[in-house]
Amino acid sequence: MKFRSVITLSLLLMSTTGLMAQVPALDRVEPANWWVGMKNPKVQLIVHGDKIGGSNVSLKYPGVKLTKVNKVENANYLFLDLEIAASTRPGKFPITFKRAGTKDIVYSYELKLRNRTPQWAQGVTNKDLIYLLMPDRFANGDPSNDVNKNMLETGLHRDSMYSRHGGDIRGLMNKLDYLKDLGVTAIWMTPEIENDEPQASYHGYAVTDYYRIDRRYGTNELYKEYVALAHQKGLKVIKDLVHNHIGIDSYLMKDMPMKSWVHQWPKYTNSNFRDAAVMDPHGSAADKKQMLDGWFDKRMGDLNQNNPYVQNYLTQNHIWWVEYAGIDGFRLDTYPYNDAAYMADWAKKVKAEFPRFSIFGETLVWSVANQAFFTQGNTVNRGFDTQLPGITDAVIKDAIYEALNGKEGWTDGVYRLYNVVAQDFMYQDPTRNVIFMDNHDMSRMVSVLNEDITKYKSAMAMLLTMRGIPQVYYGNEILMTGISNPDGLVRSDFPGGWEGDKKDKFTAAGRTDKENDAFNYVRTLSNYRKNTPALQTGKLMQYIPRQGVYTYFRYDAQKTVMICYNGNDKETTLDTSFFTERMTGFNSGVDVISGKTITNLKQITIPAKSTFVIELKR
């Protein structure tokens, strides 16, 4: 039976004589199913329906106990606390809602058997390369779902950056071989669950239905099929979550269970967007409150994560998606804006159910200290453990740009990058951080680098050899450009993803010589990384820049890889005699990109703004 979060097929309305009738009262039960064998035996069902709060509720199933019926401010809701014994067997059972003077409502609830296959929730690590894409802008595999007349936004305008363009999950599925060939091992889509908003609903960050894939992208069943196909091809899947806010057109906003579902203000109040207010030992309570409780946008209600019903709803939804589809990791949107204690509890519960699962949080902040403040193990400053393994490392991104575009100074140019990496002591494990050059919220790397192909290659070389989990943004490999003001300009369609596109840049024939040069560079280096554990889990040793050249090594017992970036505006010959600690015993090397042998390692001549990636040989 096909699943939908808006329940239709599994609802039965029965009279006392057993005759079925239409259901006028019950709208939703979420989660619509659960599983036996979960580490946490408790689950809280949210029931929404016309005056359902006036019902007496009962159920009968071996091993399942209804421990509490929670009636809240809004009589259209009930929250049912269930406890599922470890011995409970999979199966269906009725939940009965009785109200005086009306017919009973009987909902058939199902407990399923957990999936135990090896590829289920396997985690994303520093062995992986993440490819970030926006499903609406990547590829359109099913034009029949481009417009849904039952949704608030019915336009499809590819010439408008703020309208929907028609990309979907089927389109992505059709391009998995392209991604695998590129060297990608993990895929991160911006949120694909339903955003039923009247405009700009394509980005996915104003959720209106937490249990439903947006109908313009596909179905829940298709999403599950996509994950399975990706796993079959050796690709992992990351799901993008939004804890902080909710689209105001969600049923949970239009008919809130209680006023405290979201943060309320006397008049509309934005967040101040100042993460420092959360960590400032001298800060005011007012600034911290506005940072955490202020709304992100007028169309995005700020969820009250101190509300236990909100907590249960979000946590269970996220666990549901992992168990339902078998995804491998979560990216957490706007992480600093969330309630820290709740997020720590959330992470513990997710990890308890899925020990190999990976989590990283978005922290677009300006210093290593600000990033590290939010990460796991930083208990001295927090007084508790956030349980957040890694973050999106925007600071190392800025440092790479400074090395490429800046002028040499005591702490500028290549020295900025050296100094940032030297601060890794602030993290419990910096290799869990996701490193990147751009994403859907910022100017594309090619534009930041003024379309300089030499700098572009250097950026890619450092991204794919630095510690951490590298992430590339869709189209980077074919030199897509765009400036983030306005944001839409960095969210263009991937050429060739739509039938009738003039150029198909998923193929070599559709790309220009310059684009193929860039594509082949990324493809060569990313596939080398995929087959070189030293660049994944190996140690990192860096040296203070010399002669304007930043040099570091990635190494393990099997291989040593030397990376040299010349930050000068002219060709520089690097004297490597200072690097004996890492180079002793090596007599030659191989340029990873060209495949050419380097016989003289004592002096390496590097063109301006270029990076060499050299596998050392004995």
* pLDDT (tens digit per residue) in 607-618: 999 999 999 999
The CATH superfamily of 539-617 is Golgi alpha-mannosidase II (2.60.40.1180)
Is a pLDDT exceeding 60 seen at residue 2?
no
Return the CATH architecture of domain 11-113: Sandwich (2.60)
Residue 470, preceding peptide bond in cis (omega within 30° of 0): no
For position 3, what pLDDT does the model report?
Answer: 34
For position 487, what pLDDT does the model report?
Answer: 75
**Are the beta carbons of 579 and 552 closer than 8 angstroms?**
no
Give pLDDT tens digits for 524-563.
999 999 999 999 999 999 999 999 999 999 999 999 999 9
For position 507, what pLDDT does the model report?
Answer: 98
- Look up tokens 């890889």; give the residue: 561
Is a pLDDT exceeding 80 seen at residue 24?
no
Confidence of residue 25 (pLDDT cuts 50, 70, 90): low
Is a pLDDT exceeding 70 seen at residue 10?
no
Give pLDDT tens digits for 186-201.
999 999 999 999 999 9
For position 9, what pLDDT does the model report?
Answer: 30
CATH 2.60.40.10 in the chain, residue ranges: 11-113
Is a pLDDT exceeding 70 seen at residue 215?
yes
Is a pLDDT exceeding 60 seen at residue 392?
yes
Element housing 563 (H / E): strand 560-566
Q: Phi/psi of residue 196, each to 5°?
A: -90, 75
For position 379, what pLDDT does the model report?
Answer: 87
Q: Quote the DSSP letter at residue 4.
A: -
For position 527, what pLDDT does the model report?
Answer: 98
| Strand, helix or coil for residue 280 | coil
CATH 2.60.40.1180 in the chain, residue ranges: 539-617
For position 613, what pLDDT does the model report?
Answer: 98
For position 390, what pLDDT does the model report?
Answer: 98
Mean predicted confidence (pLDDT) in 393-415: 96
Tokens of 344: 């720590």
Q: What percent of the chain has pLDDT over 90?
A: 92
Is a pLDDT exceeding 50 seen at residue 12?
no
- Look up tokens 């190392």; give the residue: 396
Q: Which residues of 141-178 are buried (b: 16+ CB within 10 A; e: fewer)?
A: bbeebbeeeebebeeeebeebebbbbbbbbbbbbbbeb
Mean predicted confidence (pLDDT) in 378-400: 94
Give pLDDT tens digits for 221-269.
999 999 999 999 999 999 999 999 999 999 999 999 999 999 999 999 9
For position 332, what pLDDT does the model report?
Answer: 98
Alpha-carbon distance of 586 to 589, in angstroms, equals 8
Alpha-carbon distance of 525 to 234, in angstroms, equals 18
- Dmax of the chain from CA atoms? 92
Q: What percent of the chain has pLDDT over 70?
A: 96
**Are the beta carbons of 362 and 191 closer than 8 angstroms?**
no
CATH 3.20.20.80 in the chain, residue ranges: 130-243+311-535
3-class DSSP string for 18-46: CCEECCCCEEEEECCEEEECCCCCEEEEE
| Residues tagged active-site | 333, 362
Alpha-carbon distance of 493 to 164, in angstroms, equals 11
Amino acid at 139: A
What does the mean pLDDT of the chain come to?
94
Is a pLDDT exceeding 80 seen at residue 20?
no
For position 381, what pLDDT does the model report?
Answer: 80
* pTM (predicted TM-score): 0.95
Is a pLDDT exceeding 60 seen at residue 305?
yes
Mean predicted confidence (pLDDT) in 418-430: 97
**Are the beta carbons of 133 and 184 closer than 8 angstroms?**
no
Is a pLDDT exceeding 90 seen at residue 380?
no
In this structure, whether the domain defined by 130-243+311-535 belongs to CATH 3.20.20.80 is answered with: yes
Residues forming a β-bridge with 65: 83
Is a pLDDT exceeding 60 seen at residue 210?
yes
For position 14, what pLDDT does the model report?
Answer: 32
